[in-house]
Structure 1
Amino acid sequence: MSYVTYDEFETSRSPSAVYWLIGLCVAVYFVQATLVGDDNMARWLGYAPGDLASRSLWTVGTYMFVHGGLLHLLLNMWTLWLFGPRVERAWGASTFTWYYLWCGLGGWAFHYMFQPNGGILVGASAAILGVAVAYASRWPDDEVLFFGVVPMKVKWLVAFMALINITMTVLDSGSMGGTAYAAHFGGMMAGWLYLRAPNVGSLDRFRSRIAPAPDYGDEPPRAVPKSGRPRERERDTDDIVAQSKAAIARVRPSPKPQPQPATVATVAPAPSTALDAVLDKIAAEGIESLTQAERMMLDEWSKRLRELS
């Protein structure tokens, strides 16, 4: 199996927990192969059916760092390296380590319940299959090459491994020794329960749901216009000012006096300097800058101009 797709936003954080777990398993196997032998290491650190009665409780946790042979070790470490770094980068080293140990304890629990008369339990398979479940939950559509040949999405690969281990757990429940299928399935179930528990990974889910904040750079802040259509408002103001000045220009030439009865006298209103100041203020600052009195003056002059026209 190997990666064929990667996350678009990988972080540069080093998967230190994965390095430590692989290094610990390799160190235990080195001592096992060079000094104490497979049988002694399995007896000291692997979980045997009578360990709870004899109070050898440490074997519940240490079994996952012991392996039955070199091929067993290489297969498990390769699978951990395949799925572990990306999960650790997403969660952090501390959360990933606790999750790994939790899945290992889940594997022991299922082995204790469904294969109580089995042989000595060794290997990190339960914990690593729990890591595979976490990977499939977050990146289900990533592809791996099954047996290095067949491309398969991670979600289907994990589902296939779960089905195989469930089937073999049922068929192999009364056997002595052999592959610890119940422990494998227990590690996967422990991981599934962890991921479905309330409040687990809530911060991570929150970060994945929110969009990244845009980067506006170091530009100084700019004033926000009050109106949603400033250009049209400026155009309207200019039109008002132009029309008013044109109307006043028509009024300024005094018409020739016409003979009128002595009792009636019609005089065209002469523009005042106050009105000119209002019009200049509109042109410079906009019509919103007028006071109430200035607005009333502008309305009065508009009414007079309409009557004249």
Structure 2
Amino acid sequence: MVTRPDMGLADRDYQREHRPGGGGFLAILPPVTKWLLIVNVVIFVLDYWVLNVSGDPYPPIIRWGAFAIRSAIFEGRVWEFLTFQFLHGGFLHVLFNSIALFFFGPFLERWLGSRKFLVYYLLCGVSGAVFFTLLVFARILPDSPLVGASAGIYGILIGVAVIAPALRVRLLIPPIELSMRQLAIALLVMATVFVIGGRLFPGVSLFWNAGGEAGHLGGAIAGFLLLRFPKALSWVDRPRTPEARRSPRRGDGPKLRPRPNLRGDDEVDRILDKISKDGFQSLDENEKEILRRASQQQQNDS
């Protein structure tokens, strides 16, 4: 499934303040999204080249970095909880993940900030591996190696759905329009069906990727919880040293910030239209807070 937000990509100059003039299509991306894309593609190309040169179906990159329960948990190769997120099983695998990251990653990175976004993305990936492991231990799914950024991507998709559930998106395949909330529900239902199908029909090729779908669900769960309870990421931006904690940053000091009132649907729609037209970076703090509180209220009402 290929998705894209229903907002003009040409209008989304995410890096306007960083890279004036030129820079190619990557110049519109915030830094973490851009480097995740680059790293994923470079590793895939390197893996593909080694595969063709050596003829080994399991090149050293895969053997070293793919997540496997036995090696990651029982042999102490804990790095596999992270490294599997940068490996992919084929061209379409890395292509679809890259497309989703390209279109949805900037929205969430601008919302969280680059540092929190990176931690969020990696934690969603780790959660995907953990959830898959739990289902294997529960004998719901068979054990198999796990690769791919999809758990982190699902975390991003769910994150955008939590922040802006009414945001409209158009799918390329199939060519339909729906809200982020509807897209998130559809993806979760599909992943759940494949996990259940993998349990009931383990020999049917349609359900061979049930383990990957379990990873998707794990990433989605983590994404929802991290945004539902934002204090879980508050440590990321905390000063690292006592001196940094005591030293106020430039512009810091006592400020009286008006507490925005939660507006009606018309105000939220206006803000979403502004995002669609001018990009997320065009919002002021008051508008961001209105959108956050509207999203929170919608979750509480649902």
TM-score normalised to structure 2 length:
0.62
Map residues 205-244 of structure 1 onto 2, 5 A cutoff: 210=260
Greater shift after overlay, 177-186 or 9-18?
Answer: 9-18
C-alpha distance in 1, partners of 2:232/2:128?
Answer: 20
Quote the residue 2:104 is aligned against: 83
Q: Which among 75, 81, 85 is matched to residue 64 of structure 1?
A: 85
Alpha carbons 1:5, 1:142 under 8 Å: kept: no
SS class of match (2:177)? strand
Q: Which among 4, 7, 22 is matched to residue 5 of structure 1?
A: 7
C-alpha distance in 2, partners of 1:2/1:25?
Answer: 19
Greater shift after overlay, 63-72 or 161-170?
Answer: 161-170
Greater shift after overlay, 68-77 or 44-53?
Answer: 44-53
Q: State the one-letter code of the partner of 1:127.
A: G
Quote the residue 1:20 is aligned against: 35
Alpha carbons 1:38, 1:68 under 8 Å: kept: no
- CA distance 1:141–1:27, shift in 2 (3 Å): same
Report which structure shows greater RCO (CA 8 Å, sep ≥6).
2
C-alpha distance in 1, partners of 2:165/2:259?
Answer: 17
C-alpha distance in 2, partners of 1:209/1:182?
Answer: 41
Superposition deviation, residue 210 in structure 1: 3.3
Quote the residue 2:67 is aligned against: 47
C-alpha distance in 2, partners of 1:76/1:208?
Answer: 40
CA distances 1:127-180 after superposition (whole Å, capped 9, x unpaired): 001001111111211212221511111110011101111222223147485341
CA distances 1:167-212 after superposition (whole Å, capped 9, x unpaired): 222231474853411111000001111112253578xxxx996386
Alpha carbons 2:159, 2:224 under 8 Å: kept: yes
Q: Which among 199, 223, 247 is matched to residue 191 of structure 1?
A: 223
Superposition deviation, residue 6 in structure 1: 6.6
C-alpha distance in 2, partners of 1:209/1:141?
Answer: 23
Q: State the one-letter code of the partner of 1:4.
A: D
C-alpha distance in 2, partners of 1:16/1:135?
Answer: 18
- CA distance 1:84–1:118, shift in 2 (3 Å): same
Map residues 114-129 of structure 1 onto 2, 5 A cutoff: 114-116=135-137, 117-129=142-154
C-alpha distance in 2, partners of 1:32/1:158?
Answer: 31
Alpha carbons 1:115, 1:182 under 8 Å: kept: no
Q: State the one-letter code of the partner of 2:66.
A: G
Identity of aligned residues (%): 27
- Whichever structure has more helix as a proportion of its residues is 2
Map residues 76-115 of structure 1 onto 2, 5 A cutoff: 76-115=97-136
Q: Which among 16, 24, 32 is matched to residue 47 of structure 2?
A: 32
Consecutive unaligned residues of structure 2, counting only runs of 5 or more, are 18-28, 235-256, 262-283, 287-302
RMSD: 2.9
Alpha carbons 2:136, 2:143 under 8 Å: kept: yes
SS class of match (1:119)? coil
Higher-Rg member (1/2): 1
Alpha carbons 2:81, 2:126 under 8 Å: kept: yes
Alpha carbons 1:104, 1:187 under 8 Å: kept: yes
Consecutive unaligned residues of structure 1, counting only runs of 5 or more, are 215-309
C-alpha distance in 2, partners of 1:3/1:208?
Answer: 31
